[in-house]
Amino acid sequence: MAHIITDISRPSEADMALARSVTPATIHEAQDRSGALDPAIQPVKPGLTLCGPAVTVQCTPGDNMMLIAAIGTAQPGDVLVVSAGGLRVQGGFGEVLATACMSRGIAGLVIDAGVRDGAAIRKLGFPVFSTGLAMHGTVKETVGSVNHPVVIGGIVVHPGDVISGDDDGVVCLKRGDIDRVCKAGQAREEKEESIMAALREGADILDLSGMRQRLVDKGCQWSGTVNKMDRTA
């Protein structure tokens, strides 16, 4: 469908603050280990992060026309989420478009394809998550859609969903699940902090995690040395 939607529903500022309070990996865990995009989609520079409402873009492989259209309609804080057919050998986003995004206050780009001008994008510090770098140019010929649901990295993303990314990759958080998932994530991170504090004081990870008894319950046998193990198998 060749169609551009300019007005989408976005999470509230309070919901976005909740989403930013937990890591992408914690979001993934807190929503039953779901929502993580293909780990091939990674930041072009270690340490880059993004978190914002999705502006979804459907591009034809090798064509960046709709990406440019989306930049012109996105609002400050939005994340461009571009489904481009998974074509790694295309560089339809580079320094010029990164500069355009930054001038509009766009929070970042997630694309299932290559980008180019890697050194310049890293210097700008604009958060770009892609499948890698490729110098191959693209055309501007084929219309597509902006702000319709897309599939990227194996995940369906709707306009206004929260997209969060860091060195671990990118996760999609459905707009209606923000409060539940992020509060569960906060509780998870608080529990992990208490565990790490105990570990620093010398606690045993097997006991803290309950894993010692769990291993026994699953039939795991403990032995002091390998020589004492049953070798009848």
Q: What is the residue extent of each domain of the chain? A: 3-184
Q: How many residues does the chain have?
A: 233
Q: What is the pLDDT of residues 88-115, one digit of tens each?
A: 999 999 999 999 999 999 999 999 999 9
Which residue type sits at 135? M
In tens, the pLDDT along 2-32 reads 899 999 999 999 999 999 999 999 999 999 9
Q: Which strand (E) or helix (H) includes residue 55?
A: strand 50-58
Q: How far apart are CA 40 and CA 159, in angstroms?
A: 22
Name the 3-class secondary structure at 114. strand
User: What was the pLDDT predicted at 222?
Assistant: 83
Q: Is the pLDDT of residue 229 over 80?
A: no
Which CATH architecture fits 3-184?
3-Layer(bba) Sandwich (3.50)
The predicted-structure confidence for 132-180, as pLDDT tens digits, reads as follows 999 999 999 999 999 999 999 999 999 999 999 999 999 999 999 999 9
Residue type, 105: G
Non-local CB neighbours of 94 within 8 Å, separated by 6+ positions: 115, 116, 117, 120, 121
pLDDT digits (tens, 9 = 90+) for 36-57: 999 999 999 999 999 999 999 9
Angle between helices 65-73 and 95-103 (to 10 degrees): 20
Classify residue 116 as exposed, middle or buried by CB count within 10 Å of its CB (0-12, 13-18, 19+).
Answer: buried
Average pLDDT over residues 71-77: 97
Q: Which amino acid is present at 58?
A: Q
DSSP 65: H
**Minimal CA–CA distance to 22: which of 180, 130, 199?**
180
Q: Give pTM, 2 decimals.
A: 0.92
